[in-house]
Structure 1
Amino acid sequence: MAGTAAGALKLGLSGVGEAFKAAFADSSAEAKAAASATRAVENAQRGLTRAQRSLADARVQAAERTKSPHRGVDDP
């Protein structure tokens, strides 16, 4: 009986080591992909922030330009 139990355990556990290797190998690649995606999102957020600041600056400059010609005309 001991031999039968040992054989059953060996057969039952034969693929466990390979399964662990496969599971951790895949998670390493997935972790790298997740980190890369996170960096891409962070870069996109920084780009969006810069674009919003540029838009705000452009609006301020446009408002100043529209006021400047009127000041010259109204001044005696």
Structure 2
Amino acid sequence: MSEKPPLSDSEIYDALHNAWLMLASEAGATEFGNNTLKAARLSLFTLQMTLMMKMEGATDQMPSVPSPHSD
């Protein structure tokens, strides 16, 4: 069985977008569930935009992840 190659940045972006689409119109049965879905959508969107910025050369940092070189 052959091993799958690592995902490209474009493939990762597509996977994040598909996950966002899957949750885009969903609502939780409880306030906690609904807030969890909102947080998941925001996280997926933020990761998508950060990856896009990286692909365009606009950033080399993940959101809210401190640089290992900062003191």
Q: What TM-score, normalized to structure 1?
A: 0.37
Q: Highest relative contact order (Cα 8 Å, sep 6+), 1 or 2? A: 2
Higher helix share: 1
Larger Rg: 1
